[in-house]
Amino acid sequence: MSASIDRLDTAILKQLQQDCSVTNQQLAERVGLSPPACLKRVRKLKQSGLIKQQVALLDQEQLGACLHMVVEVEMERDRYDLYQQFAKRVNAAEEVKQCYQVTGEVDFVLIVVVADMVAYEAFCRQVLYAEANMKNFRTLISMKRVKFDTSAVLPASD
């Protein structure tokens, strides 16, 4: 089900995606609403489930070095139950930050974050090599993150 939102809701969502720590007063000023009207709209967006959760994005560089891997996974057999089994395995793996089932030459693309190559090798043993239906995987090591954006695609404003 697609939520029905107007241009004010879209403006609120854009602002919150940039910085959800703004006060209601600041948010209301930025989108041109009174604070009570703004608060009512934000509550409605949360209650509808359109705003799933609010999180803090951490600066990984300040926390210490880590490796970002893009892992392409090709499965042996193309069966729904086996794909579900693999999805359950990657959902349980803390190292997997994102997982996409895709079309094309591979079946899944994973974004994996680990402290170092020793940790990545352990991840491969515990998750990838342990998957009986995995035919092959290829690892691309990120040298530098050029862009990172967590925003959702919003409807065009009127």
- pTM for the whole structure: 0.84
Tell me the residue range of the domain where 11 lies.
Answer: 7-47
CATH number at 70 reads 3.30.70.920
Edge-to-edge strand list for the sheet holding 134-141: 96-101, 108-114, 67-75, 134-141
What CATH number has the domain bearing residue 30? Answer: 1.10.10.10
Identify the H or E element spanning 68.
strand 67-75
Tokens encoding 145: 């993150």
Q: What is the pLDDT along the chain (158 residues), one digit of tens a residue?
A: 456 899 999 999 999 999 999 999 999 999 999 999 999 999 999 999 999 999 998 988 899 889 999 999 999 999 999 999 999 999 999 999 999 999 999 999 999 999 999 999 999 999 999 999 999 999 999 999 899 888 888 887 65
3-state secondary structure 5-42: CCHHHHHHHHHHHHCCCCCHHHHHHHHCCCHHHHHHHH
d(CA 103, CA 18): 31
